[in-house]
Structure formats: structure tokens, C-alpha cells
Structure 1
Amino acid sequence: MPREILSVAEMAAADRAAVERGAPTPVLMERAGEAVARAVRARYAHRPVVIWCGPGDNGGDGYVAARHLRRRGWQVAVEAAYPPATDAARWAASRWKGEVRPLSDAPSPGTLYIDALFGAGLSRPLEGEIAKLARFCQSQPLAIVAVDTPSGIQGDTGRPLGDVAFRADLTVTFHRRKRAHVLAQGREACGEIVVADIGLWPAEHPDLFENDPSLWAQRFPWPAMDAHKHTRGRLKVVSGEAWSTGAARLAARGGLRIGAGAVTVLSPPNALAVNAAHLEAVMLSPFETDADLAAAAERADAVVIGPAAGVGEATARNLQALARTGAALVVDADALTSFRQDPEALFACLDRDDVLTPHPGEFERIFPGLLDQSPERIAAARQAAGRAGAVVLLKGPDTVVAAPDGRAAVSLNGAPWLATAGSGDVLAGFIGGLIAQGMESFEAACAGAWIHAECGARHGPGLIAEDLPGLAPAVLAELFACR
């Protein structure tokens, strides 16, 4: 079942709904604190533990965790930044019979610290003794476990609220990941993330999900027993001029490896010989004008345009011609930049089956200012998809895929080895190949991004883009075995 990602407000609503259905806040707090203690026991050897407790329910979770750890024989002390200020926190504190002392200004490296000061809903910067403690922790090799989010990290953006925030080796959150747990800056501050079930109900109409196979695997386009190449989809990829052909071939090979039955590189005449010398299973077809290109793509199910296509009017005209063929378009790289002076002309060509695949620089060129104006990348990608009327895949370590209808997904399996020239061209080919096989464009973009990242992670150091298509079969075989 797809796993939704919640905003701070949505998580608060889930808590309220549980209370309304008969699960009192102290019961939920008991489950949460026990989950924290369980995660600590599973990952750390016995050592002294200090739990920093704040005034709210996050602090209440800390008091419960302290009780459960001590019951298991751990040496536990609580350091309270403030007295408990909610009914549930007061209840939890009253059940803790151990030591409570003020915050220390010099934590010890030999102790495990649990940050239960403030949760994801914090709305103001850390200050006073807590800010001082956070600064001290940044300079020391301390083992820190965070409850919900590291204190000072805003739950909807993953960014510090001020100039300082805690960082954790392990973060235990509840029910579902929040946005801070999936966006790169927050994810880095959280360390390992454990999501504990505390008995809440799923959201009724979720529209933000973790991008993994649970989101799209049931609709993956596996071939039928009687399949042949023409029933497995026709993908075409537009090549650049003679000295800029490799990117299109990478995209074409990606589309072929992901399962498209017939893949063709559409090539300018001066690049035909270069392309022909490097292509085997991928076919080759010439074009001279934009009208020729549209004719060559007339029977395509999907077309990739942009990888090393050249920036300028010719590429813009080629895209506009392709838009009239009815094929789904995957618009990447140079095809995006060719519209930087007039993004609306690009949007006028698109429909909801098309996919734009910008990295942040290309995103800025066609959606100027949107990343700066939005609170986080999810909101920016959603606004971009609405503006373009097409699916937008915003690349990064936390790749976001957004559809015009508001659905969005965030990848959690980003691999740093993918930061290499040509990697994005293969991704465009993966997405185009899946769309050509009949996969819905939002799901194809999600699946392509996830498979692409898995390929990068499996290879690891030394990865180059040429490796990626050959890594896809092993990933696909595992998906097929689990279908």
C-alpha cells in the first residue's frame, strides 16, 4: 500500500481523529515513548542515557521513553528544559520516578542523548539555553536520538528555523514520515529514520507519497505472453548534431532496457553516420526539418527531446512540431532551456501526459523564482506542474514528481553516484520507455526515478552514465519476482 507523507497539520489532524475515535492522548504518548525506547535498545549497547524533555507532548514522549528504558535496566536521567505544559506531558512526567535535573551545558561523549525538546510543529527558532546546547552539540561527537524531528528543524520544510538546530544519528517518528523526513536538508539532519506505528488511521485522501514500488508496481507494464515488439511500445529519441549525439543514444538505450519494444533515434543528416556506428538494437531515422521530424514521429507512443539537442529556435520548433503528433513528450535538458525566454510557449504545447525533467537550474529557467518563493521543493514542483499542465520531475537527492492534479511523490533512495554527466539522459529514456509501454505518465516518472536511483546505488563508486542501462535488468527482475 502506498505510504503517504504528512504535513505537520495533517499529522495533528490524525492525532485528533484518533482521540475522537477513542484513543486518548496519553495512550498515544505511551505507544510513542515505548517505540522510542524500543528503537534505542535495538541500535545501541547499554550506556548512560540522558533525555532532554521539552514542555509539550514531544517532551511527554521523552518521559515515557525514560521509564521504559529504565525498566529494561538502562541508567537514565531526564534533563527538563521547562516544566510540562500540556495535560498529557504532565501525566507522563508524573509517572517518571527517576532523576530530573536542569539542562547540562556540557554533554559527555560517552552518554546517549535523546532529544525530546520540540517536535515537527515547532514554529520559532531555538533560543536561550537550548540554542546554546544545540551549538555545543554541533561541535562534539555526541550520539543523539531525536523524537519526531531534531529540535529546531521545521517539520514541513526540513530547514532550521533559525541559525542553529540539533542533528541526530537516529530519528524516531510516528505513523508516517513528515516532509522534513524526506526533503534532503531535513533528512540529513535526522540521520536514520524509524517510522513507528502508534495505531493511527491512514489519511482519507492522500496526495503526497513516498516514491517506492508500493506506489506504482501494480501498474508496471510487464509484457503479456503474446507480446511482440510493436505491442511493447514505440519510443523515439531526438538526436543532436554530429558532435552532440551521445546523450540521445544514452536515452534510447535506457528506453530499450526499461522494456520499450521498438526504439528509434531520430537524427539530423550530419549525425547519421556517427549514430549508425554506435547503434545496434536501437533503430535510426533521419530528419531535416521540423515537419520531417513530426512525420518520423507520427506513430510514436512517446518521444524524448532535449538530451544534447541544442539550445535555440530549432529545438523549440522541433518540440512544437512533435506536440502536434499526439505522442507523449519527455522534455529534458536543451529542450527546456530553449524556452527560457518564453516558458508560456512551452506550456502551450504540453498536456497532462507529458513530462518535464529539469534539474534545479533548468527549473529556474522555465519557472523563474518559483523555488525561492515556495517553502520547499514539493510545493515548487506542484505549482510548476499546475502552471505547465504536465508532470514535473524536479531532480535532486530528494527528487520530487508532481502531477497537474496535485499528486506528488518524493524519492528516498537517491544515490550520490548519479551525479555524473549523462545520468539524466538515461532517466529521460527510462521514463519515455515506460510511457511508451502504456504506463500513466505520473507513475512512469515515479517508477523511472526509483529504478534509476536503484541502479546508481547498486553500482556505487565509479558509476558512469553508460553503466546505468545495463544495471536496470537486475532491478527489473526483482520487481518482477515481487509482482
Structure 2
Amino acid sequence: MTHEILTPGEMGEADRRSIAAGPCDGYGLMLNAGAAIARHLLAKHGGTSGFHVLCGPGNNGGDGYVVARLLAESGATVDVWSSGTPKPQTDAARVLQECPLQPRPIGEFRPNSGSLVVDALFGAGLNKEVTGEAAAAIGRANEASVRRVAVDVPSGLDGLTGQPLGPVFRATSTITFFRKKPGHLLYPGRHLCGELTVADIGISNDVLHDIQPRCFENTPDLWRGQMPAPEANTHKYKRGHVAVFSGGATATGAARLSALAAARSGAGAVTLLSPAEALGVNAAHLTSIMLSRCDHPEDLRSFIETRRASSFVLGPGFGIGEKARDFALALLRNQDAKLVFDADAITSFRDHPDILFNASCNAPEIRLVLTPHDGEFKRLFPDIDEKDVPSKVERARAAAARAHAIIIYKGADTVIASPDGRAAINTNGTPLLATAGSGDVLAGLAAGLMAQGMPAFEAACAAVFIHGAAARRLRFGMIAEDLPAAAAFVLSDLLGSLVQE
């Protein structure tokens, strides 16, 4: 399992624990890192006319000196450019002494067209802007017609947040070690890293036991073990019952998309809760999905008592205002139901966020999922902003803790966060999902999985992944109506032999 993501600080701890455990010391890990990079470059770019290796004064630069030596030993044409001398008696100073190539001042660096530039200036731990000759060299590399390979993270990129600290080396590919960092997966870092490779340099997975990382890449390894699969003796209500609230007569489509997605997720029963004015419209479009009138919180209480739905979706096309708040608070008073609040349900609390948070905090366990895109997030959590909290992961974590809810912070780099500090960064999203109704489908998938007994955090992570995989399966031209059926095929692939046919 390699879905763990390490912060730069945690990666430093992994290095220290690996060195303490042996057999490799810091010098050995540096040799391994340089060798892994050199092997990659020779395998992928062995025919390159020449290599330029930009070396900083720290361990990242040390990796670069090892790379330069090994490339030269292979017969390649290599130039080394230095942006500062390593401190005496460090591992970087030692590998510099062993490098047969004489480093030249980085201010003289001028890449020739068709060559390859290796960025070994600064690693993931950089926390300030790159300036001076190093910044100028980065600019020249970015402007040249060359391939650009970064060591660890592109210089100038914050490995924790994925945000530029100033000038950034725009890599066509990046080679990192042991585990990915948040900055590799959060935008714009994901774009600036180019193609990402994680190299094995001899650090044992055992170090993770003590580090206990709390951030993960959203892959099936993270949640597959919690996925529900129907048993041979099941019936429809044992497979979960999802209820979705519809908007008025002219705003019913979003709720039907959510309801269909919930059904395709494997839920045994789905009911659309419709106001009287929209019953006819909804009835004309529904077949396997049930329909029930629900105009007031009293209707909802009656439905809960008689039909005992496992989870609810409120928000898609519902309308913004007091009615949405009343239904939301009525749902939160029902201690048994799992809830997904999307779209209008979120925006309805923009002027009253504490009412929502206080009601959610009364629950003994996490059973609420909020699905804000960036605009909705800013309305509900206006003080958790990019200026004060530059990491999207940390913004999502702060919001989850405040709301006592799972947060699906949507976007190209969707982050799923739990109040207990767990967070997952999704990486299979696609621009194809930027289409009307896509978010409604996601809400239905999450509710459907929770209705079947999947814990809220894992259900949210799975829903986001399945959503992305379904869109990728459909490819260009897909619309939201296509997603639920495609999601069913993705689920079938994930469940495999667990489904008893």
C-alpha cells in the first residue's frame, strides 16, 4: 500500500528513522536517490544531446552531484551548475568531492535547445522564495526548448501546499522518493510537477508505523475493505434506503440525478421526497425510484417514522432559504440517519453557519457530509481562506473540525477531510466533470454508499473516486445523466468477486 502522503516534515522524519534503523546512512540514501534518478534519466532520455544539472547547497544538490557523476560515467555529456557550496563534512559535501565534474557558477547557465535540465536546487522543505541567480536560472530553464526534470519537487514550489513561493521550475517530470508529498497532488503543484515518479531508495515501510501519516492519496486501497457487497440472503431494505429532496416543479432534475446515482451505488431502495407542486413532473420521470409528498418538516417526520430511510440528500435544486434550513435542522435532529448536504443546503446557511455547526455537533458520531465547491466553501467558512491557510488540505481539515462533518472540498484536486484529521487528496478527477449536474450525482453516490453501511469518510472518498472513474470511462461528450450507469460499472469492477450473482 503506497497511498500514504507525507508532509516534508514527515518525510524528514522518515529519513531520520531509516538512517537510525540502517543499513543505509544519510550518505547511502543520497547515493541511492542519485542512482534512482540517473537510471530513470538514462532509461527515458538516454539519447539526449546533453544534461545540465543545477545543484543547490543542501541535500537536494547532493542528489544532483550523484546524478551528474553517474550520467558522466555512462558516457553522457554533462554540465554541472552550482548555486552555493554544501556545508563542510555534510553528505552533500562528500558527494561533491566524489564528482569528477567541476561545477560552474549558476549565473553562467545557458541551456542549449534539445538538452535536458535536472533541477536539484531545492527540495520539498523550501519555505521561502527563490531569488537571485538561482531564480534567474529557473527562468532561463523555463523559457528554453528543453526537457525539465525536478528532483523531489520543482524548486520554488511549496511541498506542503502545492503553492508557488515565487519563481518555480516548471518540470515536465518530477522524481520523488518513498512517498508523494501534498504539493505533488494539490494544484497548481500537480501541474508544475509534470509526470510524477516515486522512486525506491531503500526506506522501509516500517517507518510509517511511528509516523502515522494522516493524509492519503484517494485510491481504492484506502477504502476498498469498507465497501458494501450484497449478501445472498439480503433484501432491498437491508441494502439501504436513500431519500432525496426535490425542488419545485421547475427544479426537479438535480434531485433525480442524485436519486438515480444513489440507486446505482447499490442502495436497495430510493425515494424522492417531492413538494406537491412537483409530484406530477417527478412521477413522469421515475420508474424504480419511489415518490413521496413532502412539503413541510411535519411530512418529513412522518416519513422518517414510517419509512426509516438510512440516508438523505438535501440541496440539489432544492432552493435557498428558510425551508432548506428547516429541513436540514429536522434531519440533524434525527440521530439515526446519514446525511449529505449539497448545493442549496450549504448556501442556505451562509448567513447562519453556527446554527448548522451547532446542530451537527450534537450528533455522537460523524454522519454529515458537506460537499462544497470553492464558492460554497467560502460562503460557509469565510475566515478559513487561502491567505491564512494556504494548504487546501488544512482548510478542509479546519472546516471538518468546525462543522463536525466530512468535507468534500470539490475541485480539480478534491480534498476529503474528517474531523479526526484524516484527509485524502483525489487524483482521478477530470475536466469532463465540469458539467451541470455532476455534483448532484456525487452527492447521491455518497449517500448511497453510507446507506449501505459504509462509514462516512470512506463513503465520501469512494464516491469521489468512483465519480472520477465513471467520467473517465465515458470520456468526451458525457453529460451528468450518463454518470450513474457508468458508476455502476466502476463499482462492479471494484467489488469483483465480492458480489454474489
User: Is TM > 0.5 for Structure 1 vs Structure 2?
Assistant: yes
Provide the residue aligned with 2:487 in structure 1. Answer: 472
Q: Which residue of structure 2 aligns with residue 290 of structure 1?
A: 297
Partner-residue secondary structure (3-state), 1:371: coil
Residue equivalent to 2:315? 306
> Does the C-alpha gap of structure 1 residues 2 and 242 become closer, same or farther in structure 2, counting only changes over 3 Å?
farther
Residue equivalent to 1:124:
128
1:446 aligns with 461
What is the distance in 2 between the residues matched to 1:402 and 1:31? 35
Query: In structure 1, which of residues 68, 71, 85 is the aligned counterpart of residue 70 of structure 2?
Result: 68
Q: Distance in 1 between matches of 2:67 and 2:248?
A: 64
Q: Give how far 1:88 is off.
A: 0.6
Q: Deviations over 1:58-79 (max 9, x none)?
A: 0111111122223333222211
Secondary structure, aligned partner of 2:223? helix
Residue in 2 aligned with 1:141?
A: 145
Percent sequence identity over matched residues? 48
Q: Please say which of residues 362-371 and 100-109 is displaced more in the overlay.
A: 100-109
Opposite residue 82 of structure 2, the aligned amino acid is A
CA 118–203 in structure 1, closer or farther in 2 if over 3 Å, else same: farther
Residues in 1 aligned to 2:56 and 2:209: alpha-carbon distance in whole angstroms? 28
* Conservation of the 8 A alpha-carbon contact between 2:163 and 2:390: no
Give 1:203 deviation, angstroms.
4.7
What code does the residue aligned with 2:19 have?
Answer: V
1:322 pairs with 2:335: no
One of 157, 179, 204 as aligned partner of 1:153: 157
**What's the secondary structure of 1:409's corresponding residue?**
strand
Supply the AA of the counterpart residue of 2:352. Answer: D
1:404 aligns with 2:419: yes
- Per the TM alignment, residue 2 of structure 1 is displaced from its structure 2 partner at its CA by 5.6
- Alignment of 1:89 with 2:92, yes or no, is yes
2:282 equivalent in structure 1:
275
Aligned match of 1:111: 115
1:322-365, Cα deviation, whole Å (9 max, x unpaired) = 22233111000000111111101111232411101100111111
Q: Deviations over 1:180-213 (max 9, x none)?
A: 1111111111001111122223253221111110
Equivalent residue letter for 1:43? K
Whole-angstrom CA distance in 1 between matches of 2:2 and 2:343:
30
Q: 2:141–2:148: 8 Å Cα contact kept in structure 1?
A: no
For 1:187, which of 173, 176, 190 is the aligned residue?
Answer: 190
Aligned mates of 2:419, 2:344 — CA distance in 1: 23
Whole-Å separation in 2 of the counterparts to 1:294 and 1:374: 40
Deviation at 1:252, TM superposition (A): 0.5
**Counterpart secondary structure, 2:446:** helix
Residues 406-425 of structure 1 correspond to what in structure 2 (within 5 A)?
Answer: 406-425=421-440
Amino acid at match of 1:84: P
TM-score normalised per structure 1: 0.97
Aligned match for 2:208, one of 202, 209, 212 = 202
Distance (Å, rounded) in 2 between the aligned partners of 1:349 and 1:2 = 37
Q: Give the drift of 1:154.
A: 1.2
Question: Hey, what does 1:355 align to over in structure 2?
Answer: 369
1:49 to 48, 51, 58: 51
Asked if the contact 1:80/1:100 (under 8 Å) is kept, the reply is yes
> For structure 2, which runs of at least 5 residues remain unmatched after alignment?
none
What SS does structure 2 have at the residue aligned with 1:346?
A: helix
Q: What does residue 12 of structure 2 align with?
A: 12
Residues in 2 aligned to 1:384 and 1:399: alpha-carbon distance in whole angstroms: 14
Matched, 1:34 2:49: no
Are the counterparts in 2 of residues 256 and 262 from structure 1 also a CA contact under 8 Å?
yes
Instruction: Give the stretch that moved more between structures: 468-477 or 402-411.
Output: 468-477
Give the Cα–Cα distance (whole angstroms) in 2 for the partners of residues 35 and 203 of structure 1.
25
Match of 1:263 among 259, 267, 270: 270
Aligned equivalents of 1:236, 1:416: Cα separation in 2:
29
Cα offset, 1:16, TM superposition: 1.1
Q: 1:358 to 1:390 in 2, by over 3 A?
A: same
Say which SS state the counterpart of residue 255 (structure 2) adopts: helix
Deviations, residues 21-64 of structure 1 (Å, cap 9, x unaligned)? 13310110011111111222332241111111111110111111
Aligned counterparts, 1:333-412, within 5 A:
333-350=343-360, 351=363, 352-372=366-386, 373-412=388-427
Q: CA deviation at 1:473?
A: 2.4
Contact between 1:109 and 1:143, CA under 8 Å: does it hold in 2? no
Partner Cα separation in structure 2 for residue 297 and residue 96 of structure 1: 73
Amino acid at match of 2:128: R
SS of 1:263's equivalent?
strand
Question: Once the 2 structures are TM-superposed, how far is the Cα of residue 99 of structure 1 from its aligned partner?
Answer: 4.4
Per the alignment, residue 431 of structure 1 pairs with 446
Equivalent in the alignment of 2:171: 168
Separation in 1, partners of 2:34, 2:302: 64
What is the CA deviation profile of residues 137-196 of structure 1, one whole-angstrom value per residue up to 9, with x for unaligned ones? Answer: 33333210000011111111111112x111101100111111111111111110011111
Q: 1:222 aligns with which of 229, 239, 258?
A: 229
Whichever residue aligns with residue 144 of structure 1, its letter is R
The separation in 1 between residues aligned to 2:103 and 2:139, in whole angstroms, is 23
CA distance in 2 between partners of 1:153 and 1:105 (Å)? 21
| Contact 1:149 1:155 (C-alpha < 8 Å) held by counterparts | yes
Instruction: Give 3-state SS (helix, strand or coil) of 2:385's partner.
Output: helix
User: 3-state SS of the aligned residue for 1:297?
Assistant: helix
Distance 1:67 1:476 in 2: 49
Amino acid at match of 2:325: A
Structure 1 unaligned runs (5+)? none
Q: Which amino acid aligns with 1:236?
A: A
Given that 2:401 and 2:419 are in contact with CA atoms closer than 8 Å, whether structure 1 keeps it comes out as yes
